[in-house]
Amino acid sequence: MKKILIVGAGGQIGSELVPHLRSIYGNNNVVAADISAEKCKVLAEAGPFEELNALDGEKYTAIVKKYGIDTIFNLVALLSATGEKNPVLAWNINIGALTNSLNIAKDNDCAVFTPSSIGAFGKDTPKDKTPQDTLQRSNTTIYGVCKVTGELLSDYYFNRFGVDTRSVRFPGLISYVTLPGGGTTDYAVEIYYDAIRRGAFTCNVKAGTYMGQAYKENKLNVDVAVVHSEYIEKTEFATFENVCYLTENGAADFDLLLIRGISTGALHILCGIFIGFGLAYIFRQRAIAITGMVGLLGACGVFHAIFNLLISADGIWRWMGYLFPSGMIIVLVSGWHLMVKLNHMK
């Protein structure tokens, strides 16, 4: 059973993530921690709570040891709009809390999940089909600078110390549960609060501006999927859309998944045919038995690698990869049938 510590639990993400994780792992296995006990009364009543300044490494460590924590969610951050009012403070809090989290995780064998952001991208980052590894010159907000730095720090702690670090680059997150906290996309929620309070809202975002946004409840499912996943490589920063596809829309492209499944099955059948007939021939030729077996396995390995490269490509190459194994089986079966027919005619 996981023992989870959520630092910065009283913020926009934590206020919903804590109850969500407690519903999965049980109240006593998810510890909420925040600098303000006042705004976390509901969380404290439902399960264990600790008042913590994440920059206090000594107390942070004591809490991890007290509860036997094995997974840390570091949610401490000053958001983009708020951070611009005091960039030095934003840097000290955002990077200080992450550095403490990584160091404590290293010393206590914990995994660390820290949300990254599309704010880590810059104006020169490709906007269409943005690659996983790409140009990240986020030089317009201190929040974005902190996110780029955080990704590099996490990567360093994995490669240097073996700390299991995971993250997702989220878009703007929309929720009605907590008040807007100074994020760039908080205007989408603040509109409604101001409509009730003042009857009007002044939007500072230019007309025609497109911003990536996601509903907070979807984000919670992604958090759990990333922490549990054995398929997302450690220190990888998965895009939100990719993880959402796996957790929510896996069957949306059923026809494509079916084709891929049939193609993969056909590939393994084809490899089995090659190995089966190859071994039958090799064992009749004792002089080449060992080299023949090595050659057969090597040939199948190369064939499999070519298949993987083709289906990971785009456009016609991917479809060639899907169709090739099935096509080869059809050719082999047709050839075998023709040979049998010719033999009968003789």
Catalytic residue list: 143
| Alpha carbons 68 and 47: distance in angstroms, whole number | 16
For residue 305, give both structure tokens.
């690698």
Q: Is the C-alpha dihedral spanning 208, 211, 215, 218 positive or negative?
A: positive
| Alpha carbons 344 and 339: distance in angstroms, whole number | 9
For residue 324, give both structure tokens.
């090739």
| Alpha carbons 261 and 278: distance in angstroms, whole number | 26
Q: H helices of the chain, where? A: 14-25, 41-46, 57-67, 80-83, 87-108, 142-161, 187-197, 216-228, 240-247, 254-282, 289-312, 316-345
| Alpha carbons 149 and 64: distance in angstroms, whole number | 24
Per DSSP, 284 falls in state T
